[in-house]
């Protein structure tokens, strides 16, 4: 793809697991973005992701990848409880961060991430794809149309089945 701005945003991804695969694929569809480095403590995951998505630089520690001076932004795709360490390390390397949801494993960790980004004057964005989910849009439409009356309080609960089709070994043809 040809960049619209004339220069692509050079991205490094920390973590090459399941959700990272979607991030790699999404970046491949954005003309102004290119993933130039990825890091995972599991060499087989990092190597496989790099091969699949054409990522030129592979690292087996985030710290090593963050030493690069040509990365414009970091995408943190780690386990929820590791978001804090990956995000703060990326922020301290001087780059804005895009972090997978949920923001952190605990409220305190989320506050620390936010505070560190503010202190460093850097952007921290959390993946909020659920804002655009069909069920969220349906609720927004009902509210906007006044079909629920005056709302004084709302609570939403999401349920996730224990197994994940096509991932946990079932649902295959």
Tell me the per-residue pLDDT of 63-116, one tens digit each, with 9 for 90 and over. 999 999 999 999 999 999 999 999 999 999 999 999 999 999 899 999 999 999
Query: 75 in the Ramachandran plot: left (φ > 0), alpha (ψ -120 to 50) or beta?
Result: beta
pLDDT recorded at residue 163: 59
Q: pLDDT-derived band of residue 26, with 50, 70 and 90 as boundaries?
A: very high
154 pLDDT more than 90: no
Q: Report which secondary-structure segment, H or E, holds 83.
A: helix 83-92
Does the pLDDT value for residue 38 go beyond 60?
Answer: yes
In the chain, what's the furthest Cα-to-Cα distance?
A: 55
Q: Given pLDDT bands bounded at 50, 70 and 90, which one contains residue 133?
A: confident
**What pLDDT does residue 165 have?**
56
CATH number for the region 9-129 comes to: 3.40.50.720
Model confidence, pTM: 0.80
């Amino acid at each position: 793809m040809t960049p619209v701005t004339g220069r692509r945003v050079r991205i490094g991804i920390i973590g090459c697991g399941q959700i990272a695969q979607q991030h790699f694929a999404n970046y491949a569809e954005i003309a102004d973005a290119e993933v130039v480095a990825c890091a995972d403590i599991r060499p087989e995951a990092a190597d496989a992701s790099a091969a699949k998505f054409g990522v030129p630089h592979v690292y087996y520690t985030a710290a090593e990848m963050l030493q690069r001076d040509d990365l414009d932004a970091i995408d943190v795709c780690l386990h929820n409880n590791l978001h804090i360490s990956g995000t703060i390390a990326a922020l301290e390397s001087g780059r804005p961060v895009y972090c997978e949801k949920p923001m952190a494993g605990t409220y305190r960790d989320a506050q620390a991430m936010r505070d560190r980004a503010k202190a460093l004057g850097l952007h921290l964005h959390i993946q909020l794809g659920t804002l655009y989910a069909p069920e969220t849009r349906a609720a927004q439409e009902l509210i906007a149309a006044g079909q629920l009356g005056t709302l004084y309080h709302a609570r939403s609960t999401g349920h996730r089945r224990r197994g994940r089709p096509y991932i946990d070994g079932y649902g295959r043809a």
